[in-house]
Structure formats: C-alpha cells, structure tokens
Amino acid sequence: MQWFAYNGDADGICSMVQWALAKGIAGNRITGVKRDIELLKKIDAKKGDSIIAMDISLARNHVEAAKLNSIGVEISWFDHHLPGEPIDGIVTNVDTSSNVCTAVVVQKYLRIESDWAQVALHGDGLGQFAKNGDLAELGELLNYNGYGADLTDLHFHPDDLLLSCIEAKTPQKFIVSDVFKILKDGFEKDILHTLNHPSKNNLTILPDEPWARRVVGVLAHRLIKANGSPKVIALTKGVSFQISIRANDGVGEFCQNYGGGGRATAGGIDLFPKNQIKALMNAVNTRWND
C-alpha cells in the first residue's frame, strides 16, 4: 500500500501536485491544517507498505517514523524544516536553506521544472527567490486556505484543493477556476479585519476567531516583507498565545527553545504563556536586532 502524508499549506499541496503529474498519487493520502504536523500518527502502515512525506517536519514525526521504519515500511521524506536526528533506512531529501521550500526540493528530485514550485515559494513567503511574480497571489491563497484551528475553518479540505490543482494541471489554468475565485473572495473579506489590529513594536495580537486563524500566515509574510524586521503574531488561545514568527534566518532554531519548531525564515510555538510575551519579544529583539 502506498501512503502520502503532506502538509495542507501551499508548499505541501504544490509538492504533491508535481508528484502527481510526474508519478501519480494512487494510494491513501493523509493531510490536515497547516499546524497538523504529526501526520504519521494517522497512518496504519504494514510491513511492505511505503510512505512519501511532503513538507512535514521529520523531527515532529520522529517516533512514529522510527517505529514504522523498524517494521519494514519504506519511507521517503521531502522537506525543508529542521529534521532532527537522522533515522537509518529513511530516504531523506531535506534542504533547510533559507531560499528553498519543499516544492523546490521535489522539483530538483524529479528534474522537471514546474511553475507549481514557483507558486509554493510565494506561498511560503519566499517570493524574492521565485522566477515568476505573476503567481504570487495564487501562492498566498493556497497558503491562506491551509491555516485554521481545524478543517472546519478552511474554505476547502486540503486534499480537495490538491485534486483541483491537479485537474487544472497548470497554475495559470487554476487561476481562472471557480475555486480560485472563492479563495480570493474569502481572503479579501478576512484580511480587512486586520486593519483593526495593527502591529505595535513588531508584535501583532489577534483574537481567536476564524478569520484571524485563516489570515495569520499570509499576514506574517506580508508584515516582514514590508520592512524586513522580525515579526511576531500572537493568536489568542485562552491564557496562552499561539505564536508565529518571521525573520530572515534562524527562526526554526529559535522556536525550538520554546517547544516549537520551523524552518530558516518561519516558525511557530503552539502554546506560549500570555504573561511571558514581553520576555519573548525581548528575546526576539536580542536575537535579530542587536
């Protein structure tokens, strides 16, 4: 049995589209919202099965990956997040460079240049490394659809969005689809709410509402693109914040110090005490501004 485990954001979807167009994706596909990372827990693989993982942290799936590997499941990993300790027997295609996303890793592996990799770069806030600026909006919108507390927050289930992209075959054809229009209309309505929650000293605090949960990723990318200084977005979660951080390097390592993770230019902390937010901002400013 073939299994696929992929992130429900732009990068995960664009990685899978490339694989689908080149090799097919027959089998069982497992995905979820952007922060639903530990997808291997949802896979009931047996000896002789194979798993292809796209754009999810191996570090966050380390225990399950090691367990599945030990019983004879063949695992191939494509990613750009910090991988953690290597596991003998797992084939890893991981590049943590700050100018690379998983879709670029997949593109290099397949040796087929693809506009979907360009879409993913824009979606991951790496548009400065993309060759095609015309695909920026699509990248943002695919990423926007991946953010939420759970699947009910999303306009489309990520796997349905994946299938729509595959059906279109090219980003240019997808852009004229009804699905694209729904995403565009939804984003334009949601992003207007952020005008009532301005950033102060590089910190933006958002309420725990569906629109805020959906726009947090795109908003973070837009804020750092505006002036380049590190940005922190804190999404209210009761007595805690869900933290998103953007900077030009070292974000994943920084977030690991607080139980989070990520990649070179983006990362997050799932639960952070509200009463320690000033200390976090001091640490951010010390790390990137001093």
Q: Residue 3: name the closest of 25, 19, 18, 22 by CA.
A: 25
Q: What is the pLDDT of residue 98?
A: 94
Contact indicator for 267, 260 with CB cutoff of 8 Å: yes
Average pLDDT over residues 107-128: 98
Distance CA 41, CA 214 (A): 25
Residues in the chain: 290
pLDDT digits (tens, 9 = 90+) for 45-73: 999 999 999 999 999 999 999 999 999 99
Average pLDDT over residues 92-113: 98
Number of other residues whose CB lies within 10 A of the CB of residue 47 = 9
pLDDT digits (tens, 9 = 90+) for 190-216: 999 999 999 999 999 999 999 999 999
Distance CA 27, CA 264 (A): 32
240 DSSP β-pair partners: 237, 273
Q: Report the share of the chain in percent with pLDDT over 90.
A: 98
Residue 103 reports pLDDT greater than 90: yes
Distance CA 17, CA 189 (A): 28
pLDDT digits (tens, 9 = 90+) for 215-271: 999 999 999 999 888 999 999 999 999 999 999 999 999 999 999 999 999 999 999
Joined together, the tokens standing for residue 147 give: 């953010």
Joined together, the tokens standing for residue 83 give: 């991988």
Residue 90 reports pLDDT greater than 70: yes
Q: H or E stretch including 285?
A: helix 277-288
Give the confidence band of 289 by pLDDT, cuts at 50, 70, 90.
confident
Contact indicator for 77, 90 with CB cutoff of 8 Å: yes
Q: What does pTM read for this prediction?
A: 0.95
Give the confidence band of 143 by pLDDT, cuts at 50, 70, 90.
very high
**Is residue 48 classed exposed, middle or buried when 0-12, 13-18 and 19+ CB atoms within 10 A define those classes?**
exposed
To which residue do tokens 């003998």 refer? 88
Q: What is the pLDDT of residue 290?
A: 63
Distance CA 42, CA 288 (A): 37
Please state which of the ranges 103-112, 142-151, 226-235 shows the lowest mean pLDDT. 226-235
Alpha helices in 111-177, H assignment, sequence order: 115-123, 136-146, 158-168, 171-174
As a whole number, the mean pLDDT across the chain is 97
Q: Which amino acid is at 243?
A: I
Domains located in the chain, CATH noted = 2-187 (3.90.1640), 197-288 (3.10.310.30)
Average pLDDT over residues 153-170: 99
Q: What is the pLDDT of residue 68?
A: 98
